[in-house]
Structure 1
């Protein structure tokens, strides 16, 4: 399954609803060092890869921070003021952090520093933190797989500054993914200044790699390389019948003139290291990117003659200086890559991203667009050449609007949209198996500020749409799960999904949290689950909804969760720690 943002929130069974229990749910292993664990892909043998987020006890270096600077003083005063508005008291000072390393021992101080640093994520003079890790599952554990991270002196261990994503797994357990390089802490003297300034810089933005079943890694080189790491990602892998492997993703193919001009104008090595300047340019779009394919033989040697740029849906015009982008998200055993690409309409009208497939170096769109703000994605393809994906009208205020899922049969040129649970219900498809069963996530509540999203199962043959939670036992103390998103469906019909479950709340250091009365607190977390069909399921009538305040008030989760967004959202009452 390709990488996607995963969302989850708590809900209860619809009151008085009668249904047949057709699936059994098994809770999969979770990573004990993080708050949320997600499955990203699985093969028919049940071997999985995934991701975990909100890593506890992130290492925070304060040695380079000027605690007399107005920025951190104002942040502290705002933090303290927000507590006082709720009749709460702050239990640390900036001096405690600077001189006594309070951020390593006091969870509230640690949370404050994480928030402060995260608000400066675009500033190269501050430490970079990432709380997400790649996960390799076994039958009993969900263990971290370190991709490109490395030990750094300023953290006394792994830098915890890298993005690490395992995106797909082949039938024999060979996995692919991508990761960023760890940040180095360096000293640099700016032009016209006498003292050094601390900077954080990295060697590359993103690099694709393959992980053999024995754990060894093979880097997948992109089409283009430069002194600043270039760019590549791997999103899907298939083991073919002859024992070879087909991997798809995206690669940089060039640096266009617009990027070159910005580099020449800004990256002079005067006010920051050149690598830091390039990092800033990369964050705003620097490389020309193309959907890309790697072919490897049965011994994991790259076959250069079949490793290639898959194409793009437009032709660069003469004197056109901007970058263009296409990407591949999945491939089937027939070797048909699917994804999306920019396309051109009229004289100079470029659609941002349009869903389609790649054939003989050409991009074939499968979704029609007639407005510049529309966009679409092709997410998965089965071995019968049926593509599934979704389209949306626009991207605004951090989310897509009017999201509709579809399937497209390449052999028959047939496009059909899938009717969701109600008019206006956003639906995100995630996978399709060879039997034509389609899964994903869709909104199930109307007229609420934050609609709840549940996992769905759609049968292409019968045109039947089901809320997966309606096919499970009623939510209860013995069955505390709400399945929020279905991620992978195998040809045997097993569904790998994300559910939410109420557990004891932990602070940013990983300690169990208690309220002022000494009572343990609770929160909802994302966990991976496996759903297997139960053909002997009997009807069950769920009880009416009951109030579950701490569950209902829990926020949605994301596959990539921001470190911290705002003090008012993340501040906790001062608590007695266990």
Structure 2
């Protein structure tokens, strides 16, 4: 079933159908950029998921070509009319047809107004508003889009799924196996105050829980510490059904004391206990006041959890400082290969400073092992590991007095650490994925200016040949796409990437937007594309008759500050709309 069909069956108000018209421990100086006569070129294929939302971000791709994407602000959301006060003067003043809207049949203008109103409440941490998730996840097989539902459920209030629970899928192993994290289902809780005022609160039991979607069923991956719902995230899975992530294992004393205040009727005040708890969550209780540890959940073929293993810190907090006995520390496993070796990041200290930061780490045989020399690169992280025991990640160092992030490859078998040459010495670069052919993809800065936000292009780095290539140089000369980030590559060398395009804007219902004079409203958008290898292809010679090489359309397209911020949000690290909900692997 196409996702558009699923949408059509779930609204509580009239929906507007989607239009189909839019479519080495040092820099390696011997590494080189790809020449104009490379061994392969790529063609661009847009995924149909781009029709579902304002922006659609690449996430992961399996060896069958199934693409996992994150959609931001999807179209045609269902409205829970019971949470709209149609007697409110402001709402009445902004609706063109109050009666039709209240009856569940708003016109396009009123539908857009109500959606905007609900989004404002959701993004502002309102606990009395209907919730709309900023991000949803989908699996695209080239023709259809199937939503990764996470913990969302069908409700009568929305006449289908609520689309209120944020669901961020991180990795697809095959079409039947997806891992990620999500919010719990938001439900209404009615409360009458001492002054006889009835309030409908909208709450959830947890703000982040890892899951595996196996054969269509969602398997929750709970933490050992579940107070206030606890916290867990799942990032990847191997063929042995070992899922890696992070989970809460302990509360700080400060959090224990805060919960005790909620449990005291006089201290809590005239609010429900669950609301007091949820206010703690919104204040960052589960992310800032809980120890979280790298975790491996072992599943059986039916998706049942057989065992759960957590990994320690690489140091003893009390040995660093007596004040750290109740500090919340964190580590997380972000990837795992079929040999069961997990990599990720861990809190650590350097030179006995009472300042914690993240360091790239390996989780193996019950131990947490730091990978990168902190004297040269900190912070750092390990993003992925393939079945050849090649680890990729990033480390931050000082270049001409400025902190720059550089990607690396680390061969676990011979202990060789390499920071390849990227676009230029002052460019920051991030590796996102590596396949079993030892090809790395990611993105790096391509502008030389000192602006805080610099334009980025996607890259491919072949460890076998030590060739670093701008992916835009592998497209045809007149490509309308600017490939700004590459998030995944499968063993067929198919790449899932983010592209920047300038297209006509759409409203909350997916309808094209026009100015009052009838002209098109254009906007920069992020879409997901597959880059498919062309057999025996060679890169187009873009040289003009005057032997000048013009910039490719894709490589030179205007890159707005807002669009760059969107890419920063999602590239295996997505920032959730609520202030206490940040995802590590990872942006997304």
Fold match by TM threshold 0.5 = yes
Q: Please list every run of 5 or more consecutive structure 1 residues that lacks an aligned counterpart in the other structure.
A: 1-16, 77-91, 395-399, 566-578
Candidates 278, 281, 296, aligned match of 1:293? 296
Residue 54 of structure 2 corresponds to 35
Residue 254 of structure 2 corresponds to 258
Residue 562 of structure 2 corresponds to 555
Candidates 347, 363, 371, aligned match of 2:368? 363
Give me the whole-angstrom Cα distance separating, in 1, the residues matched to 2:516 and 2:448.
Answer: 37
- Any residues of structure 2 matched to 1:164-313 within 5 Å, and which? 164-170=167-173, 173-190=176-193, 193-212=195-214, 214-226=215-227, 228-239=228-239, 244-266=240-262, 268=264, 269-283=268-282, 284=284, 285-304=288-307, 307-313=308-314
**1:130 Cα offset (Å):** 1.2
Q: Which moved more, 1:273-282 or 1:548-557?
A: 548-557
- Any residues of structure 2 matched to 1:41-440 within 5 Å, and which? 41-60=60-79, 93-94=93-94, 101=101, 105-106=108-109, 109-110=113-114, 112-114=116-118, 116-118=120-122, 120-121=124-125, 123-152=126-155, 155-170=158-173, 173-190=176-193, 193-212=195-214, 214-226=215-227, 228-239=228-239, 244-266=240-262, 268=264, 269-283=268-282, 284=284, 285-304=288-307, 307-317=308-318, 320-345=325-350, 349-370=354-375, 374-392=378-396, 402-440=404-442
RMSD of the alignment, in Å? 3.5
Give me the whole-angstrom Cα distance separating, in 2, the residues matched to 1:376 and 1:518.
Answer: 51
Q: 1:138-164, CA deviations, whole angstroms, 9 ceiling, x for partnerless residues?
A: 230222221211244554543322111
**1:540 Cα offset (Å):** 1.8
Aligned length: 511
**1:473 Cα offset (Å):** 0.6
**1:541 Cα offset (Å):** 0.6
Bigger RCO (CA 8 Å, 6+ sep):
1
Q: 1:476-518, CA deviations, whole angstroms, 9 ceiling, x for partnerless residues?
A: xxx4222121122223322222223344321122111112222
- 1:171 and 1:238 in contact (8 A); partners too: no
**1:327 Cα offset (Å):** 0.6
Q: Secondary structure in 1 aligned to 2:57? A: strand
Give me the whole-angstrom Cα distance separating, in 2, the residues matched to 1:168 and 1:521.
Answer: 35
Q: Which moved more, 1:244-253 or 1:258-267?
A: 258-267
- 1:114 and 1:563 in contact (8 A); partners too: no
- 1:58 and 1:131 in contact (8 A); partners too: no
Q: 1:197-234, CA deviations, whole angstroms, 9 ceiling, x for partnerless residues?
A: 3322111222222222x3223223333334x3222221
Q: Secondary structure in 2 aligned to 1:93? A: helix
Higher helix share: 2
Give me the whole-angstrom Cα distance separating, in 2, the residues matched to 1:104 and 1:402.
Answer: 50
**1:263 Cα offset (Å):** 1.7
TM-score (normalised: structure 2): 0.77
Q: 1:255-300, CA deviations, whole angstroms, 9 ceiling, x for partnerless residues?
A: 2322212222345453433333333333412322111001123343
Q: Please list every run of 5 or more consecutive structure 2 residues that lacks an aligned counterpart in the other structure.
A: 1-34, 545-549, 580-588
